[in-house]
Amino acid sequence: MLDAALLRNDLETVVQGLARRGVTFDQEAYQELDAARRRVIQEAEALKGERNRVSDEVARLKRAKEDASHLIAAQREVGERLKALETAEKEAEAAFKAFMATLPNLPHETVPVGRDEHANVEIKRWGTPAAMEKPLDHVDLGTRLGILDLDRAAKLSGARFSILKGLGAKLERSLVSFMADLHAQAGWTEVLPPYLVLPECMYGTGQLPKFEQDLFKTYRGEDPLYLIPTAEVPVTNMYREEILPGEELPLRHFAFTPCFRSEAGSYGKDTKGIIRQHQFHKVELVAFATPEQALEELENLTREAERILEALELPYRRVLLCSGDMGFSSRKTFDLEVWLPSQNTYREISSCSWFGDFQARRANIRFRAAGGKPQPLHTLNGSGLAVGRTWVAILENYQQPDGSVRIPKALQAYMGCDVIR
């Protein structure tokens, strides 16, 4: 959530920042809601002052043994008016908060302006794609090797689910262990969070209210619970409503979890294979930093994800997303895209984002520097990596002319073999 003080004191910066995203700020609606909210607050404060004045006068009259009945009646009337104003204040505050919740984060000054992925900027490439005459895609490879079964998965759950079998299942499990081991060795703290979370958690990281259609939802009695779309949600919200010591920052966590997404509005995109699934696995990196540490921490987090790709010897590129292609909560995002031979292009395998204090304000996560007042910290996260897409990249980049798939050297100890035939 944007800082309300920023809107009040420097509205033009907000208007221009949102415009870079292609978002038109409804200035009239904002000013009406803010004015209504402040008007109720001011009226309530004035009434509280009057109530205190009357109370003091009643006390004085009683000490002097004089009649205070007329003031006591006025005191009751002020109390009733205050009660009505408290309800009005809550309603005005809720309306203002609902409006603020619709505003995306402001892009950082280093983010290129653009409407969509065509304005993204390639930062670097690593590795050289192998020359292949007629590369098979992961569906053909996995089906022929007997390690991928989409038809039976559809029989169980419908479209966009998969079954991995034999060495295909072991490859997925090996990738999780490999990624977790590398992150732990680099000093990141592993977390195993719940997979169902309260609505407050989804609000804290920005999925609610705007993206509810993309979520799977269940109930415990009458209380809603959401299946997590990414470990970002529970891991970030671990510190919701807390104040962290500034000397503990940056704080770095990683978590392996399943992820559940309805993919509303994405039908027709990546329908073949396991690129875009309703259920998939991911190792997520989540960091908490001071404002001064944040940009350096974004580079550190992105490099941590890149290390996995490099260790697996998978060609990739880093792309800086433009203002119109970033996520709702992001202030700056690097996408990592892995080479897929069957598509003859790079495809996203990780998205590493810095959110500024946007999520921290929504989740009320703060830090206190030595001798200072609590202030919102900065949050960051990124995939390290999306396991299913890494599985796809290995099958396609390590395929052999005879239809077998070599195992990357870094994974052979986890797999217990060097090839899938």
Tokens of 20: 């870079």
* Residue 50 assigned ligand-binding role: no
- Please pick, among 276, 303, 317, 347, the residue that the annotation labels catalytic: 276
* Residue 297 assigned ligand-binding role: no
* Residue 231 assigned ligand-binding role: yes
* Residue 302 assigned ligand-binding role: no
- Please pick, among 174, 323, 342, 351, the residue that the annotation labels catalytic: 351
Distance CA 319, CA 308 (A): 17
- Please pick, among 174, 306, 389, 396, the residue that the annotation labels catalytic: 389
Active site residue 317: no
Distance CA 192, CA 196 (A): 12
* Residue 262 assigned ligand-binding role: yes
Q: Please give the biggest Cα pair distance in the chain.
A: 105
C-alpha angle 249-251-256 in degrees, rounded to nearest 5: 175
Active site residue 60: no
One-letter amino acid identity for 31? Q
* Residue 404 assigned ligand-binding role: no
Q: Please name which of 389, 320, 382 lies closest in space to residue 351, comparing C-alpha atoms.
A: 382
Active site residue 348: yes
Distance CA 126, CA 310 (A): 8
Any residues with CB less than 8 A from the CB of 340 and at least 6 apart, and which? 137, 346, 347, 392, 393, 396, 397
* Residue 232 assigned ligand-binding role: yes
Neighbours of 374 (CB within 10 A): 15
Active site residue 261: yes
- Please pick, among 21, 160, 240, 261, the residue that the annotation labels catalytic: 261
Evaluate the CA torsion angle 249, 250, 256, 262 in order and state its sign. positive
Distance CA 213, CA 64 (A): 66
* Residue 261 assigned ligand-binding role: yes
Active site residue 125: no
* Residue 383 assigned ligand-binding role: yes
- Please pick, among 317, 348, 368, 406, the residue that the annotation labels catalytic: 348
Binding-site residues for L-serine: 230-232, 261, 284, 381, 383
Q: Tell me the catalytic residues.
A: 261, 276, 348, 351, 389
Binding-site residues for ATP: 261-263, 348-351
Binding-site residues: 230-232, 261-263, 284, 348-351, 381, 383
